[in-house]
Structure 1
Amino acid sequence: MPSLQLLEKYAKLAVKVGANVQKNQYVVIRTTTETKELTRLITKESYLAGAKKVYVVWADDYVSHDLFQYASVDTLEEVDTWQVEQYKHFVENDSCFISVTSPIPGLNGDIDPLKMQKAAIASQKSLSFFQTHVMGNKSQWTIVANPNPVWAKQVFPNLEENKAVEALWDAIFNACRVTESNDPVLEWEKHNEALSKHNKVLNDYNFKHLHFKNSLGTDLKVGLVKNHIWAGGGEKSTQGVYFNPNIPTEENFTMPDKLVTEGKVYSTKPLNYQGKLIDEFWLEFKKGKVVAFDAKKEKGALESLLNTDEGSRSIGEIALISHDSPISKTNILFLTTLFDENASCHMALGRAYPMNIKGGLTASLKELEKQGYNQSMVHVDFMFGSSDMQIIGTQYDGTEVVVFKDGNFVI
């Protein structure tokens, strides 16, 4: 384990910068049994920040694996009423949410992807109000990570287990701007300011579409919705509270038009989806929909994702990150989207964020969909950036602007 000082700084970062817990606010920590020490520290920091009450919702990936392995599909499709009521209570009381992720990549490699799909669809339908609440920034939410031995050994296979865990902690702290000698809260204030300035540059260009090309074969034109907004770094909840959804983050992202994506895109990093590592895959789009796909590893899991619902074959987010971003420079493949998406341009299959269009946070779903918003039960990011990525942006008057050259921003 790292020093108590570093863990306390990290916990404080999650509470003060990530969720920005307010006085007398309920806090919900969604976590796993791999993260007991950090969860306890986040609980304490939440109370120190003035939380009224902290709820901890525990999960265990090994227990979940056995549920998927041995339970019937009918059982997997049952969603307990008490769980739905619990989340209604959280939402109705304006709770903020802190997720502590500790993935075990590949754990569910032996599970039938269709069983996992049916379970996920049932859960997402019953808890759709919660997803709407979070993705609509109705209250603050954030995600941080905590190593476990299995994950660490996959990231650092040449190290002994304890050394691998140590190395992964170091990599996480480095990515999250936490050191023995600094104040991470102040570091993040500067970081958010830099991301905000880049958002303004992109918003001022007001691109109609972006054209992505690289030597792997990516040749993709992504149309953006009219009145789109580039975001990245900190955001404001509808209650006016500033927070950071992802720690770490390096991205600038916006909303594609669900009907205006054409061409082919190749992944550049594995996608850890429901405990399965989907790798070396490509998608072909026509009129905004995936019409063909393939994967060298876990093609069934990719097919299951794409077949979740009507919106899961369209994209709801396009994000730009320079290849020379701090996380990319580490040359570490973290095997979890929270980190890997901040080392590479990425897009998300599924649901869009209402905040990425003017007036989106107060618009109805019907109003959003008229403007090109993609609705889905899923939002799954995958990475396609590369060191030779070229991006040309086209404005509404036809002017073409070089946005990326050799994998990096040039605007």
Structure 2
Amino acid sequence: MQLPQELLDKYAQVMVRYALNHGKGMAPGDTVFLVGQEITRDLFLALGREVYAAGGNLITHYSPNNTQADSLARFLLQHGSDGQVGFFAEPYWRGIVEATDHILFIVSEPDVHYLEGIPAARISKMMSARAPYMKMREEKEHAGKLSWTLCLYGTESMAKEAGLSLEAYWEQIIEACYLREEDPVARWRQVQAEIESIKDKLDALEIESLHLTGADLDLIVRIGDNRKWLSGGGKNIPSFEIFTSPDWRGTQGWIRFNQPLYYSGKRIAGIELRFENGLVVSATATENEEALKEMIAQENADKAGEFSLTDRRHSRITRFMATTLYDENMGGAFGNTHIALGNAYKDTFPGDPSTVSEEQWAAMGYNACPKVHTDIISTSDRTVTATLKDGTQRVIYKDGQFEV
């Protein structure tokens, strides 16, 4: 399938002139690190041209397609030594972070199952090797000197996994990103303003904790002190969610997720988690439970790092897309809830995160887990009741939309 050049160019405009720099677009002279696989060539080129047209500079990371037959990562995991699997080129990645103002990832899977059959522990070892890179990025981001964003490029493999034709899969992308609008950048800024209005109302409520109830959950999430709510703000395209980093110590109860998780190249379905005193004490899945348990077994990956809600009135995503970027933003009948296990987003701190020590983060209940931040999603009906700091209660989310 060949996407019309007009839509490719509009997609590139959204990413470069809106998504980068936290929804403000890149400035002339900024340097963008553009990452994509060869299957994304037409969009990769459109994005590169748009960066140059906006007066920016470009560093590219353009790699061969990951498929079971040709993936270098799969070959390494099958045949490499532990030292090779855990290799991290620290000077290279430090140089990339230092030279870059913005990072733009094109999410795409030429073969959703390219790591099928590889032990989960082996994959976790390779992913854990990138923890120092993520730490470098986080530090520069907290200093206000780095932004990042993601966008999706549909493939036959991804469409098949989602049970859609490639044309129907791309239709979801086009609609979700407003690419048929005359000025999609202006449309995104309008939608973001609407979401920011809800976020500001949530902050004004001063919520102590949330109680989520429904047929497949009975869960308490403590928000805690020194938190604010955030919206995507350009970090993901599309992004309609409103989220915060809860105090992990106050998560209690259980939740069943009706959407599968794709982690380490594996599909994990039928997930149910039970929390006691903030810790996952039971984690089951009807498919690939081993991979779920391997993920949670990593240090601090058994704690909540994010809590998020999406209002169905903003999202045009109506179908399962087999990728977290879209599934965590699904609208449909009931919006969605997702919880991320692992690392907390420190930009939910209302002050300057660069001035906070690791000990202070821990004292506030911000989870530290640089190796894992994994969103798990449910689109079932639920009611969210907030307990405010003055002790009063208020329903803030029902029937898939905010009530604030």
Mapped partners of 1:138, 1:262: distance in 2: 37
Cα deviations across residues 175-204 of structure 1 (Å, max 9, x unaligned)? 11110x521111011011001100011001
Mapped partners of 2:296, 2:142: distance in 1: 20
How do residues 271-282 of structure 1 correspond to structure 2 at under 5 angstroms? 271-282=261-272
Q: How much has 1:258 moved relative to structure 2?
A: 1.7
Q: Is it true that 1:291 corresponds to 2:267 in the alignment?
A: no
Q: Name which of 85, 93, 96 aligns with 1:87.
A: 93
1:291–1:133 distance in 2 versus 1, CA, 3 Å: farther
Q: How much has 1:127 moved relative to structure 2?
A: 5.0
Q: Which amino acid aligns with 2:176?
A: A
Q: How much has 1:131 moved relative to structure 2?
A: 4.3
Q: Secondary structure at the match of 2:291?
A: helix
Q: Name which of 252, 267, 271 aligns with 2:242.
A: 252
CA contact (8 A) 2:76 2:84 kept: no
Q: Is it true that 1:123 corresponds to 2:116 in the alignment?
A: no
Unpaired segments ≥5 residues, structure 2: 331-335
Q: Name which of 54, 60, 63 aligns with 1:58.
A: 63
Q: Is it true that 1:406 corresponds to 2:396 in the alignment?
A: no
Cα deviations across residues 53-90 of structure 1 (Å, max 9, x unaligned)? 333343532212232233333321222x3xx2222122
Mapped partners of 1:366, 1:112: distance in 2: 35
Cα deviations across residues 220-239 of structure 1 (Å, max 9, x unaligned)? 100012121111032xxxxx
Q: In the alignment, what sits opposite 2:327?
A: 340
> Over aligned residues, Cα RMSD in angstroms?
1.8
Mapped partners of 2:359, 2:306: distance in 1: 19
Q: In the alignment, what sits opposite 2:333?
A: none
1:191–1:126 distance in 2 versus 1, CA, 3 Å: closer
Q: In the alignment, what sits opposite 1:238?
A: none
Q: In the alignment, what sits opposite 1:240?
A: none
Cα deviations across residues 317-343 of structure 1 (Å, max 9, x unaligned)? 101113555345x2x110100000012
Q: How much has 1:135 moved relative to structure 2?
A: 7.0
CA contact (8 A) 1:106 1:276 kept: yes
Q: Secondary structure at the match of 1:173?
A: helix
Q: Name which of 341, 344, 356 aligns with 1:352.
A: 344
Normalised by the length of structure 2, the TM-score is: 0.91
CA contact (8 A) 2:93 2:133 kept: no
Q: Is it true that 1:171 corresponds to 2:172 in the alignment?
A: yes
Mapped partners of 1:136, 1:280: distance in 2: 39
Mapped partners of 2:74, 2:306: distance in 1: 30
Mapped partners of 1:59, 1:124: distance in 2: 23
Cα deviations across residues 332-385 of structure 1 (Å, max 9, x unaligned)? 110100000012211111111111121142223322222111110211111124
Q: Is it true that 1:144 corresponds to 2:151 in the alignment?
A: yes
Q: Secondary structure at the match of 2:250?
A: strand
Mapped partners of 1:135, 1:339: distance in 2: 26
CA contact (8 A) 1:105 1:277 kept: no
Q: Is it true that 1:44 corresponds to 2:33 in the alignment?
A: no
Unpaired segments ≥5 residues, structure 1: 158-163, 235-243
What percent of counterpart residues are identical?
27
Q: Secondary structure at the match of 2:329?
A: helix
Q: In the alignment, what sits opposite 1:269?
A: 259
CA contact (8 A) 1:272 1:335 kept: yes
Q: How much has 1:268 moved relative to structure 2?
A: 1.7
Q: In the alignment, what sits opposite 2:207?
A: 207
Q: Name which of 352, 357, 382 aligns with 2:376.
A: 382
CA contact (8 A) 2:101 2:145 kept: no
Q: Name which of 312, 316, 319 aligns with 2:308.
A: 319
1:33–1:165 distance in 2 versus 1, CA, 3 Å: same
Q: In the alignment, what sits opposite 2:86?
A: 77
Q: Does 188-197 or 89-98 show the bigger shift?
A: 89-98
Q: Which amino acid aligns with 1:231?
A: L
Q: In the alignment, what sits opposite 1:372?
A: 365
Question: How many aligned residue pairs are there?
Answer: 387
Mapped partners of 1:23, 1:120: distance in 2: 34
Q: How much has 1:136 moved relative to structure 2?
A: 6.8
